[in-house]
Amino acid sequence: MKIAFTSKGNDLDAQVDARFGRCPFIVILNTDDKSFEVIDNQSSADEAHGAGPKTAQKLSEYDCNVLITGNGPGGNAATLLEKLNIDIYIGAGDMLIDDALNAFNSNSLKKF
């Protein structure tokens, strides 16, 4: 399974960023072999509008099953993520990625 985390940093030691569209990085963890990939999303800070859809487009190239974030995406991005069949879990803002993963595994994150 591939789990995407909106992240403040570019590795597995980072904290989850509560935002979706304007999160600086997305860390994607493959739970089967514990490998990870990183999407650099720092350019989202340059978008006046529509940062959410643009981030969703980047994410679409990675075949993720689950997205773990803080507040949840705004309306435009939510529509796109629905098309990607990604389950979104929220409430992990500021948690360490590891802690967020544990919270997800113990069903204590809220489904968006």
Partner 1 sequence: MKEIVVISGKGGTGKTSITASFAYLARSVAVIADCDVDAADLHLILKPTIKRKENFYSSFEAKIDPVACIGCGKCERVCRFDAISSENRIFTVNPLNCEGCGYCEKVCPVDAIKMTQKLDGEWYISESRYVTPLVHAKLGIGTENSGKLVALVKNVAKQLAQKSNKDIVLVDGSPGIGCPVISSLSGAHFVVFVTEPSVSGIHDLKRVYELAAKFNISAGLIINKSDLNHEKTNDLISFAEQNNILFLGQIPYNENFTQAMIKGLSIVEFSDDEISKTIRQMWTKIVNFVEN
Partner 2 sequence: MKIAIASGKGGTGKTTISTNLAHYLSQKEQTVLVDLDVEEPNSALFIKGKLDKVYIKTRKVPFWEQQTCVLCGDCVSNCNFNAVTKLRNEIIISPQLCHSCYACSELCSSNSLPMIGLPMGVLQTFKLDNLFFIESKLDIGEEMAVPLIAQTKEFVNQNYENNIFQIYDSPPGTACPVIETLKDVDFVLLVTEPTPFGLNDLKLAVETVRELKKDFAVIINRDGVGDNEVEKYCNDENIEIAAKFPNSRKVAQLYSSGELLYNKVPEFYEQILVLEKKLKSI
Site string for partner 2, 50-69 (x = CB under 8 A): xx-xx-xx--x---------
Cα dihedral 71→75→76→80 (10° resolution): 80
Q: How far is the CB of 8 from partner 1 (least distance, A)?
A: 10
Judged by beta carbon, residue 68 or residue 80, the one nearer partner 2 is 80
Q: How far is the CB of 36 from partner 1 (least distance, A)?
A: 23
24, 16, 29: which is closest to 71 by C-alpha? 16
Q: Contacting partner 2 (CB under 8 A), which of 10, 12, 38, 47?
A: 47
**Interface with partner 2, residue 10, by CB under 8 A:** no
CA 30 → CA 33, 45, 60, 62, 65, distances in Å? 6, 27, 16, 11, 10
For 36, 57, 85, the CA distances from 97, given in Å and listed in that order, are 12, 22, 22
Binding site residues, partner 2, CB under 8 A? 47, 49-51, 53-54, 56-57, 60, 75-76, 79-80, 83-84
